[in-house]
Structure 1
Amino acid sequence: MVGSYANGAGAGGGKNGAAERKLDELRRRLGKAEGDPLRIAGVGAGAWGSVFCALLQDAYGRDHRDKAQVRVWRRPGRAVDRATAEHLFEVINAREAVLRRLIRRCAYLKYVEARLGDRTLYADEILRDGFCLNMIDTPLCPLKVVTNLQEAVWDADIVINGLPSTETREVFGEIGRYWKERINPPIIISLAKGIEASLDPMPRIITPTQMIANATGVPLENILYLGGPNIASEIYNKEYANARICGSDKWRKPLSKFLRQPHFIVWDNSDLITHEVMGGLKNIYAIGAGKFPFALNHCLILFTACLVLS
C-alpha cells in the first residue's frame, strides 16, 4: 500500500493564485488547450455530491470561469413539500448574505410564493440557487444544474459520481452509451459507498468503481474513489476534515493536490479496493457497535473481527 499527503497550498500569490496554479497544472496533464475549459460534471445531487461540486465551484469555477466549468446533473421533477418550503424560507431570511444574493438574482419571490403555498418548488430549481434538498440548513454557492444526463456528461473531463451505489450501475450504463465515440476517456471520481455481491462466475464482491468500469468501458486506471468518512455540511462550513483519494499512480497524486483545500486535507493511496470496501462497511460496523452500548469488550471484539475479515 502506498500513501502520501498532497500539499496544494502553493507558495506566495495568495489563495486565488495557488488555486489557479493547481488548475493550470491539472489542465496541462489533461492536455487542455488555451481557451478550452476543464469541464467537471457531478452526477447525482445528494448532500455529499452537491457539496463536493460546490467546493470545486468555489475553488475554481467562480474565479476562473475561462479555465474551469462545474455543472451538476440531477433528475428533474422532484417537488419540495410545503413544510420544507417553509423551513427553506426561514433559512433564507436568517442569512443576510443569502437573502441579498437571491434578491440580486431576482429569485427571492418564488420562495415567498412557495412559503405561502402559491407555488411549487422543485429540487433541481432550488439547487441552482444553492440549496440541496437533503441539506436545507447549509446553503451552498449557486450551481449550474443540468437535468439532461447526456448534456451533463458527454464532453466532461472529470466526472464526480455522487450517486448511491444502488443507482451507480444503471446511470453509468446510460452514460456509457453517450461515450462510445469518445477518443479520450474521462477521469471519474466515485464518492459512492456500498458493495454488490455476485455469484457468477464465482462468489465475489463488486465495488462502485468496478460497476462504473463495467458499465462504461472506461479503464480502471481512470476511475478513483474518494472517501472519508466525512459529514458533507461540516466540510462546506469549513470544519477541518480529511479524505483519501485512491486509485492508479497516474491520477491520484495530481487529483489529491487539485482537490486539497485549506480545511479539507486530501491524502492519496494506492489501495483502492480496501478503501472502497471499508467505506461500504463502516455503517454496518457502526450499527453493530451500537448493539453493545454497555459492553466495550464485545464492541472491540466486533471491530477486530471485522478488520481481520476485511
Structure 2
Amino acid sequence: MVGTVEMNHGSVNSNGSLHNSSGAEEKLDELRRLLGKTDGDLLKIVGVGAGAWGSVFAALLQDAYGHFRDKVQIRIWRRPGRSVDRSTAEHLFEVINSREDVLRRLIRRCAYLKYVEARLGDRTLYADEILRDGFCLNMIDTPFCPLKVVTNLQEAVWDADIVVNGLPSTETREVFEEISRYWKERITVPIIISLAKGIEAALDPVPRIITPTQMIKSASKSFSLFFFNEHELAAGVPIENILYLGGPNIASEIYNKEYANARICGSEKWSKPLAKFLRQPYFIVWDNSDLVTHEVMGGLKNVYAIGAGKFFILLPILLFYPQKGKPYSAIHNCLLKFFVMFRECPSQAILQALQDETMNDPRERIELAQSQAFYRPSLLGQP
C-alpha cells in the first residue's frame, strides 16, 4: 500500500533505533545456554546504582532484550527517598513537552498528570518514581525507556544471574558487603560487571591501589560465601566471574546512538560471550583479558585529563627567577611534571614527592581521604 512501510523483522526502540529481533534473540539464547537456563527460567539481570551510566546501561539492555519477557528480566536498583527539587521538576516538565514521543508515552501510561502537578508545586516527585518513567535525575535532558525499578536491595539481587555495578567506586565496597549477606544461601555463582571508575589507596604493607573489582572480590569474601569453582570449594565470588566494562563513553551520547566503543575485561570464559551479548550497531564492545590495566586507566583517565589541562595552561606562562635574573616556565613548579618526567620511582619516592610544604607525611591525608567520615555520599542523601 502506498505511504506505508512494513517492518516484519524488527521493532522500534525508545531511542528511535531498530533492533533485529531474530539476531537479538540468538544472542540472548546463547548467553542463557552458557548460564544453564532452561525454558521458563528467566535470565535475571540487575543494575545496582542508578547514576547516568548505570541507568543508560540498563536502558540499553531493556531496549535490546526487554521484549523477550519469557526469557529475560532486566531491573535496576536505586535507593528510595531522594526527592526532586522544584527547579528540576520544572525543567523535566519542559523536556517532556518538547518530546512528542515522550509526552505520548506518559499519557498512555497515565503518568503525565503527576509531572503537571510537580510543575505547579502541588506534588513532590522522587528519583525512583521518575526512573520508572525513563528519567535519570543526573541526566534529565536524555529521556530513555521505562525501567523496572526496585528500591529494596535484597529483593533486587538475591537471585540475580548478572549484576551490573553502576555505583561510584566510593560506594562499591559498602554496598557489595551488604549484597554478600543476601548471597549466603546461593547455590549458583553470579556474574558481576563493574562500570565503576575510580581507585582506593592502601598503605600497608606497601602503598598500592585497589580497584572496584578487587573491592567487590574482597567484599564477597568477608561473609564467607562458598561456591564450587573448578571442583574446589572457593570463598566468595571467583575473580573470573567479575569483569570491568569501560571506554571513552558519555552516557547520553550512547543512548542517543552516537558511535562509541568499550572493552569488557576479565576472564575469557565470560568476557567473550558478554562482549557479543552487549554489542550494538552503534555501541561496539570488545573483549580483553587484561582486567587490572583497563580498570586502573579507567580510574586515572580523568586525572590525566585534568593534568593535561593544567599543563596546557602553565606552558605559555613565564615567571621571573630573581636568583638568576631571568624568566623560567611556570610548568617547572607543577608537581605533575615530576611524575611525567620520572615515572619509574619506588613507592617511598612517590610519597616523598607528595609531601606538602610543611613536610608532613602524606599517609595521614591518604588515610583521611579513605575514611568514611571524610566522604560518604550516602550520608549526604546523594544517589
TM-score after normalising by structure 2: 0.74
1:225 aligns with 2:244: yes
Residue in structure 2 matching 1:209, options 199, 207, 213: 213
Residue in structure 2 matching 1:250, options 269, 273, 281: 269
1:34 aligns with 2:39: yes
How far has the Cα of 1:205 moved from its partner? 1.2
Aligned to 1:102: 106
- Correspondence list, 1:94-243, <5 A: 94-216=98-220, 217-243=236-262
Whichever residue aligns with residue 33 of structure 1, its letter is: T
How far has the Cα of 1:202 moved from its partner? 3.1
How far has the Cα of 1:141 moved from its partner? 0.2
Q: Which moved more, 1:79-88 or 1:212-221?
A: 212-221
Question: Residues of 2 paired with 1:137 and 1:282: CA distance?
Answer: 25
1:55 aligns with 2:60: yes
Whichever residue aligns with residue 340 of structure 2, its letter is: A
Three-state SS of the structure 2 residue aligned to 1:292 is: helix
Question: Residues of 1 paired with 2:248 and 2:87: CA distance?
Answer: 30
Whichever residue aligns with residue 52 of structure 2, its letter is: A
Conserved 8 A contact 1:289-1:302: no
List runs of 5+ in structure 1 lacking aligned partners: 1-12
Question: Residues of 2 paired with 1:130 and 1:200: CA distance?
Answer: 44
| CA shift in 2, pair 1:309/1:76, >3 Å | farther
Three-state SS of the structure 2 residue aligned to 1:257 is: helix
Question: Residues of 1 paired with 2:146 and 2:186: CA distance?
Answer: 30
Aligned to 2:76: 72
How far has the Cα of 1:307 moved from its partner? 11
Whichever residue aligns with residue 254 of structure 1, its letter is: P
Aligned to 1:8: none
Aligned to 1:305: 340
How far has the Cα of 1:200 moved from its partner? 2.6
Conserved 8 A contact 1:123-1:132: yes
Aligned to 2:29: 24
Three-state SS of the structure 1 residue aligned to 2:311 is: coil
Conserved 8 A contact 1:288-1:302: no
Three-state SS of the structure 1 residue aligned to 2:80 is: coil
Which structure: larger Rg?
A: 2
Question: Residues of 1 paired with 2:62 and 2:163: CA distance?
Answer: 14
How far has the Cα of 1:201 moved from its partner? 3.2
Question: Residues of 1 paired with 2:204 and 2:79: CA distance?
Answer: 32
| CA shift in 2, pair 1:247/1:85, >3 Å | same
Three-state SS of the structure 1 residue aligned to 2:32 is: helix
Conserved 8 A contact 1:129-1:142: yes
CA RMSD of aligned residues (A): 2.1
Residue in structure 2 matching 1:262, options 281, 302, 308: 281
Aligned to 2:312: 293
How many pairs align?
296
1:277 aligns with 2:296: yes
| CA shift in 2, pair 1:302/1:226, >3 Å | farther
TM-score after normalising by structure 1: 0.91
Question: Residues of 1 paired with 2:42 and 2:184: CA distance?
Answer: 22
Question: Residues of 2 paired with 1:47 and 1:180: CA distance?
Answer: 30
Conserved 8 A contact 1:285-1:303: no
Question: Residues of 2 paired with 1:218 and 1:309: CA distance?
Answer: 34
Q: State the identity as a percent.
A: 81
Conserved 8 A contact 1:40-1:69: yes
Question: Residues of 2 paired with 1:109 and 1:206: CA distance?
Answer: 47
How far has the Cα of 1:249 moved from its partner? 1.4
> 1:48-102: per-residue Cα shift (whole Å, max 9, x none)?
00000000000001x2011111000000000000000000000000101100100
1:92 aligns with 2:96: yes
List runs of 5+ in structure 2 lacking aligned partners: 1-8, 11-19, 221-235, 317-328, 346-383
Whichever residue aligns with residue 37 of structure 1, its letter is: L
Question: Residues of 1 paired with 2:343 and 2:276: CA distance?
Answer: 32
Between 1 and 2, higher relative CO (CA 8 Å, sep ≥ 6) is seen in 1
Q: Which moved more, 1:13-22 or 1:277-286?
A: 13-22
